[in-house]
Structure 1
Amino acid sequence: MTGTLHDIAGEAVELLALPPLDIATMREAVQRLLGPAADLPGESEVDTLILQLRGHLNLLIPELEQQGGSGDPLAAAGIGEAHRRLSGGPSALGPMRHAILLARSVVVLCAHWERLAVSP
């Protein structure tokens, strides 16, 4: 070992750190449902898209909360709505409508994340 315990611990934390959020990929996924040239997925693809959108929300929510989004009234409302949409399933709305609602939450949380990331 060439470093001190403090150096080694710092390197371990860097290795465990999650990569930054890929907002561009999240927005790209949303465009499949909400974009001006939306090409709605077939029934077999909707389940995969729902899983992808749920994954995006599960990454965005803790990041926003860590950035202080829970203390920001607008971000807190978006986080709360995303939690409600994650806890519910397609139910009577059907899978396509559920996917669209999840996509809208991704759009909102991406916007809050970008706003909070650049604010002092």
Structure 2
Amino acid sequence: MTTTTEAETPEARPLDVGLMRTTARRLLAEDAELPTFDELETLTLLLRGHLMLAIPEVESTAAEFPEDDVPRACALACVKEARMRLGLEVGHGLPAGIAHAQRLARAVGSLCDHYDNLRGGRPHA
């Protein structure tokens, strides 16, 4: 029988910021190819999942800072924006879906930036 230490539990693992950024770049890179409808659906689900993981992590990390801390306030504003993005309805058609996914991708990238900033810019993975 194997035992799991606290550091090995999913709750204790840091965010995979590299993977999150790679997923976001798939839609935001200057030379990004437009996804097919099926690819877009998959990317949108991945980005939503990344947001659902990142939001509580950034929020709890920000909570460790004083209430008047500027990076804390910026991170919490980003969390609020990301939550709002999760609640938006997608328009009809591929262009509307791509625009929605790009907004999610930008929110993922911003949360990754705040996560790294709050944790001192140390690499995580």
TM-score normalised over the length of structure 2:
0.77
- Greater shift, 71-80 or 85-94, is seen at 85-94
Alignment partner, residue 80 of structure 1: 80
Q: Give the SS at the match of 1:102.
A: helix
Q: Is the 8 A contact 1:57 1:106 kept in 2?
A: yes
Alignment partner, residue 16 of structure 1: 9
Structure 2 unmatched runs, 5+: none
Give identity over the alignment, percent.
37
- Give the C-alpha shift of residue 96 in structure 1: 1.1
- Give the C-alpha shift of residue 74 in structure 1: 0.9
For residue 53 of structure 1, what is the amino acid of its counterpart? L
Q: Is the 8 A contact 2:48 2:104 kept in 1?
A: yes
CA distances 1:77-118 after superposition (whole Å, capped 9, x unpaired): 111110000011213682111100000100110000000011
Match of 1:37 among 31, 41, 48: 31
Alignment partner, residue 91 of structure 2: 91
Which structure would you say has the larger Rg?
1
Structure 1 unmatched runs, 5+: 1-7
RMSD: 2.2
